[in-house]
Structure 1
Amino acid sequence: MTRIISDDGRVLPVTVIHVAPNKVTQIKDIATDGYCAVQVACGERRPQRVTSALAGHFRKSGVVPGRLLREFRVEDTGAYSSGSEIGLDVFTAGQKVDVTGTSKGKGFAGAIKRHNFRSNRASHGNSRAHNAPGSIGCRQTPGRVFKGKKMAGHLGDEQVTTLNLELVRIDEARHLLMIKGAVPGARDGDVIVRPAVRG
């Protein structure tokens, strides 16, 4: 993250996202696929690292092999053509966007950290259960722990979407998006930026 100064003099914390070239590799329509969508390849990959099936798919659309393949539902596919590039002109400064990424993996975590439970008492009768989750069920009835009980386990490394973030500035010369606030994931991670659904 960094910070920029807005036109009205406010200091804004922003996350800078570099937008790699996005090429349309396939167009899906209702007649052939039952729904309208656009498949997009992002970035570039060495040809030696591409399977023969994917290499044929990229060759058919006339696009260099991409590092990522993602599909986006659209209402009308008429504005897209196979092999064309989707640039930063689809965004405007000031609009609200949703950002999807993979959150930082924290490994195995206890129930307190994983589910934001409150810790137990530090003293006054508590000797060894300061960070324990507490009771996890009843006694003979029902005689089991219910499925979905919040307990210790793997934390992070899952898909997270942050809604209604403000797109503060667009730098088309350097292919940068500057989004106010934090976005999910680690530094240099892959994210998907799309117009806000609820905004």
Structure 2
Amino acid sequence: MPGLIGRKIGMTQIFDDDGKAVGVTVLEVGPCAVVQIKTVERDGYEAVQLGFGRVKEGRTRKPAAGHAARAGLDYVPRVLAEFDFEGEELELGQELTVDMFDVGSRVNVTGTTKGRGFQGVVKRHGFGGGRGSHGGTSILRAPGSIGAGTDPSRVIKGRKMAGRMGGTQRMAMSRKIIRVDAEKNLLIVQGSVPGGRNNLVMVRPGR
């Protein structure tokens, strides 16, 4: 089972059998068409390329349309992604749906975190900041000393400093599947998932 491409709908909460509120994330996953199957003989590795969504007919490019047509598709997927794949046979043009996941199993969800722009050390790394009295108004959110003395006379690599925050790829591992709605292509997983609403996510089987 390779995985599926989808998008994050948002977060909500549901109540379990014991009446406890459980925070969950709702994902719209699939259907994903098999666009290309890569083999060791031809490509040097095994993988399957899946497509998600549809590009408007007037916005399609000829190379993309030809690539999709070779798989027997009459549309161009909006997103293409590769998944490691070994095992059961797949056919070009075959559609994979959310039915491939079972309630209670675990999945790994990869997404892009929310971009926060350029931030200081207090927000980016949780620094406590400087003193608020005795003339310390200019050092409230300053990072403080970053040097390492005469030896080695340079800033050590990896020092926590101000910089670009967020907008990086992260994986939420071992999220438990709470519900599967095959009619609406919805996958409800326990806990949070990287990214904001409508962000693209990759869902792979976990442990």
TM-score, normalised via structure 1 length: 0.91
One-letter amino acid of the counterpart of residue 65, structure 1:
V
The CA deviation at 1:52 is: 2.0
1:10 alignment partner, one of 11, 17, 20:
20
2:113 maps to 1:107: no
Distance in 2, matches of 1:147 and 1:25, equals 43
Distance in 2, matches of 1:81 and 1:134, equals 59
* Unaligned segments of structure 2, at least 5 residues: 1-10
Deviates more, 1:145-154 or 1:178-187: 145-154
2:187 maps to 1:177: yes
Tell me which residue corresponds to 1:85.
95
The CA deviation at 1:18 is: 1.3
Tell me which residue corresponds to 1:195.
205
The CA deviation at 1:67 is: 0.9
Distance in 2, matches of 1:160 and 1:61, equals 31
1:81-133 deviation per Cα after TM superposition (whole angstroms, max 9, x unaligned): 11001111221001111111111111110022112223222225633111111
1:16-55 deviation per Cα after TM superposition (whole angstroms, max 9, x unaligned): 1112320000001111111110000001111332322211
2:94 maps to 1:69: no
1:148-188 deviation per Cα after TM superposition (whole angstroms, max 9, x unaligned): 32211111111111111111010111111111111110111
Distance in 1, matches of 2:121 and 2:48, equals 41
Superposed structure 1 runs of 4+ greater than 3 Å apart: none
- How many residue pairs were aligned? 196
3-state SS of paired residue (2:102): coil
The CA deviation at 1:141 is: 2.9
Distance in 2, matches of 1:36 and 1:30, equals 6
The CA deviation at 1:70 is: 0.3
| Conserved? CA contact 2:148–2:156, under 8 Å | no
1:123 alignment partner, one of 124, 127, 133:
133
How much is the aligned-residue C-alpha RMSD, in angstroms?
1.6
Tell me which residue corresponds to 1:48.
58
Distance in 2, matches of 1:21 and 1:15, equals 18
Higher relative contact order (CA 8 A, sep 6+): 2
Deviates more, 1:106-115 or 1:46-55: 46-55
Distance in 1, matches of 2:27 and 2:95, equals 18
